[in-house]
Amino acid sequence: MRPISPKTTDQKNYVPLALTPFFFGVQQFSEGLVWTGIDNGRIEPLTSLSSLGFLFFAYCFWMIWIPWSAWSIARGSENTAVLHRFKWVAIVATVLGIAFYLPVLFNPPAVQPSVHSTGRLLYDISNLRSIWHNFVNTEPVGELVYWGFIVLPLVALKDKAVKLFGILIFVSIFLTWFTYSKTFNSVWCFYCAVLSIVVLWIVNRPRLNRQAS
Q: What is the C-alpha separation between 112 and 148, in angstroms, rounded? A: 27
Model pLDDT, residue 2: 43
User: Averaged over 1-5, what is the pLDDT?
Assistant: 44
Q: DSSP letter string over 90-123?
A: HHHHHHHHHHHHHHHHT-GGG-EEEE-TTSSEEE
30-41 pLDDT per residue, tens: 999 999 999 888
pLDDT at 73 over 90: yes
Q: What is the C-alpha separation between 43 and 76, in angstroms, rounded? A: 48
First vs last Cα of the chain: how many Å apart? 27
pLDDT band, very low/low/confident/very high, at 87 (cuts 50, 70, 90): very high
pLDDT at 4 over 70: no
63-83 in b/e form (b: 16+ CB < 10 A) is: bbbbbbbbbbbbebbbeeeee
Model pLDDT, residue 117: 81
User: Averaged over 39-50, what is the pLDDT?
Assistant: 87
24-49 in b/e form (b: 16+ CB < 10 A) is: beebbebbebbeebbeeeeeeeebbe
Q: What is the C-alpha separation between 172 and 37, in angstroms, rounded? A: 28
152-167 pLDDT per residue, tens: 999 999 999 999 999 9
179-210 pLDDT per residue, tens: 887 888 889 899 999 999 999 989 887 665 56
Model pLDDT, residue 209: 59
pLDDT at 128 over 90: no
Decide which of 49 and 135 is more confident.
Answer: 49
Q: Which of 35-39, 42-46, 76-80, 203-207 has the lowest mean pLDDT?
A: 203-207
Decide which of 110 and 163 is more confident.
Answer: 163
Among 24, 38, 8, which residue's Cα sits nearest to residue 119? 38
Helix (H, G, I), strand (E, B) or coil at 139: coil
